[in-house]
Structure 1
Amino acid sequence: MDHLESLCARAWPVLAEVPLGDWLMRAADGFTGRANSTLTCGDPGMPIPRALGVIEGFAREHGIKPTAHVVIGSPPEQAIEAAGWRVDLDHPGGAESLVMTGPLEKFADGVAESRDLPGWWELTAGSEVSPAQRHVLGSGTNVCFAGTVENGSENGTVVAAVRGAVVEDVLHVARLAVRPSHRRQGLARRLMGELAGWGLEQGATTCALQVAEHNEPAIRLYEELGCAEHHRYRYWVPAVS
């Protein structure tokens, strides 16, 4: 689990990153929980209550909410709870997320073309893209901006989009989105197949993605593509913040 979490973190570049023993404190101006929390895999190199104090200082320095990204059932989780932190039930993406993995060859179909289309950013990040969003989504050495354009025209509207990033032999999949007017047409499945084909060309063999536990349609899609739950994580915050 720790190695996979580390690969997912490397696929999601942040503005500020500071190691704390094996842990990794991360900040990106509040854009996504993953980019603005401390990954708590391994040993922080100090007692956990003290490490949590360091996390709070890092969060204050970067203007973000002090948050720990914790694999459910991992050794640090019980100590974090005992230190007085609580599960962040108010997190916008939900309190708990699944990490799912699957073999790319099982659903690869075609090869996605990476295109930095204006509509791609609008669909995946919103109408006004912040510097933090552009950094997290746009940085990296092996990233694909895959999109489906209405009627296949270069000047058409981007109706489906997804981001892929290859780290070692893993294709990290994120920001899969389809416009409401074009849902239930198989666009997400088709785009995932094309992204998988791109990943295979880059030397990846496995996909990894994170999805909120309440996002049942997405979970069903990924299961149909051959993905299965690998583990779960949730965010912890100070009980009084």
Structure 2
Amino acid sequence: MSRPTQRDGTQRDGTHALASRAEDAGLNAAATADSIWLDGWLLRFCDAKAKRSRCINALAPGRLPLPERLALAQARYAAHGLPLFVRITPFVPPGLDEGLAALGLGRIDDTRVMLQPRLASLGPPAALPAELELQPLDGAAYAELIGQWRGTPAAQRQAHATRLTQSPVRYEARVLRRRDDAQVLAAGQWACEAEFVGLYDVAVTPASRGQGLGRRLCEHLLAQAREAGARIGYLQVEADNSPARQLYARLGFSDAYAYHYRTAAGAG
């Protein structure tokens, strides 16, 4: 029997409180040095690929009328040469999504936050095949690798590297590679804060997909995070990324809440 849900999609049996804590952990993991507070909104300006590091997070109702607050925020983003994105979660002040839609901001990037509240249930990961090995990478090297795979411009790679190396949250990155030629087949990283661990930037090269490497990598990442004290896992994944969502479901993750962005037409 399915559990009752609230209008925001989170469950009423305590999962809402857990989801709220995961949201806080995700905000901290995406922290940037370049940010300001504007009438209840946290504005971030890191010009990396991930919108969560260069968007508005609405954390409090504020006092200014919405059009005025939006205009002030727009001026800030224009000064940084960035488009404006407002991240809409179940935790934003009531009516914000509808208000932004009425002002002409379109909806993009339907995303799910998935939770695994019992990481200990996964047990130890299976041993890797003899021909494979895990290798750690520092934040700068990892940002460069993922940026190359995604075709990210050099400036965004550098911004990503800066955010990782200056993060107030502990990040650990690993690549799965062949021993004989050191070719990297898959990569991922985790961000750990208290008992929460987030999986970020998990990727498998196109030629290596369909071999279970993504699951092997995630199992080892989560095992390392458990050794660091993590007990609850979270991640963010696009709603239409069925292969990734199926992988995470096999690891015990399930949908906790959804979010999307509001932005001016064409900015997405």
TM-score tier after normalising by the smaller chain length: 0.7 to 0.9
Q: RMSD of the alignment, in Å?
A: 2.7
Give identity over the alignment, percent. Answer: 24
1:208 aligned to which of 234, 243, 247: 234
For 1:25-104, what aligned pairs fall within 5 Å after superposition?
25-71=43-89, 74=92, 75=94, 76-88=96-108, 95-102=109-116, 103-104=118-119
Matched with 1:133 is 160
Map of 2:121 onto structure 1: 106
Structure 1 residue 44: deviation in Å? Answer: 3.4
**Quick check: 1:41–1:71 contact (8 Å CA) kept in 2?**
no
C-alpha contact (below 8 Å) 1:162/1:176 kept by paired residues: yes
Q: Determine the structure 1 residue equivalent to 2:25.
A: 7
- The aligned amino acid for 1:144 is E
Superposition map of 1:173-184 within 5 A: 173-184=199-210
Letter in 2 for 1:169: E
Cα distance change on mapping 1:83 and 1:119 into 2, 3 Å: closer
In structure 1, C-alpha distance between the alignment counterparts of 2:217 and 2:142, rounded to whole Å: 13
1:106, CA displacement in angstroms? 2.9
The CA deviation string for residues 107-147 of structure 1, in whole angstroms up to 9 with x for no partner, is 35349763339974454221675320212344424111111
The answer (yes or no) to whether the contact 1:147–1:162 under 8 Å persists in 2 is: yes
Alpha-carbon shift at residue 60 of structure 1 (Å) = 0.7
Deviation at residue 51 of structure 1 after TM alignment: 2.1
Range moving further from structure 2, 227-236 or 29-38: 29-38
**2:59 and 2:91 in contact (8 A); partners too:** no
| 1:238 alignment partner in structure 2 | 264
Q: Alignment partner of 2:258: what SS?
A: strand
User: Which runs of 5 or more residues in structure 1 are unaligned?
Assistant: 89-94
| 2: CA distance, partners of 1:2 / 1:45 | 23
Alpha-carbon spacing, 1:113–1:45, altered in 2? closer, same or farther (3 Å): farther
State whether structure 2 residue 194 is matched by structure 1 residue 168. Answer: yes
Aligned pair in 2 of structure 1 residues 117, 170: CA closer, same or farther (>3 Å)? closer
Q: Partners in 2 of 1:134 and 1:30 — Cα distance?
A: 9
Which residue does 1:91 correspond to in 2?
none
Shift, 1:186, TM fit: 1.4
Residue in 2 that maps onto 1:115? 137
Moved more, 10-19 or 210-219: 10-19
Q: Deviations over 1:74-110 (max 9, x none)?
A: 522222223332213xxxxxx2100111132233534
CA displacement at 1:58 relative to structure 2: 1.7
In structure 2, relative to structure 1, the CA distance for the partners of 1:196 and 1:22 (3 Å cut) is farther
**2:174 equivalent among 112, 130, 146:** 146
Question: Any gaps of 5 or more consecutive residues in structure 2?
Answer: 1-18, 128-133
Q: What code does the residue aligned with 2:159 have?
A: A
8 Å contact 1:66–1:238 — kept in the other structure? Answer: yes
Q: Where does residue 191 of structure 1 map in the other structure? A: 217
Distance verdict in 2 for CA 1:53–1:240, change over 3 Å:
farther
Q: Which stretch has the larger CA shift, 101-110 or 117-126?
A: 117-126
3-state SS of the aligned residue for 1:14?
Answer: coil
Whole-Å separation in 1 of the counterparts to 2:102 and 2:110: 19
Please tell me the residue identity of whatever aligns with 1:53: A
How many residues of Structure 1 are paired with residues of Structure 2 in the alignment? Answer: 233
Indicate if the aligned counterparts of 1:69 and 1:235 stay in contact, CA closer than 8 A. Answer: yes
Following superposition, the deviation at residue 69 of structure 1 comes to 0.6
| Normalised TM-score (structure 2) | 0.77
Question: Letter of the aligned partner of 1:206 in structure 2?
Answer: I
| Larger deviation, residues 7-16 vs 103-112 | 103-112
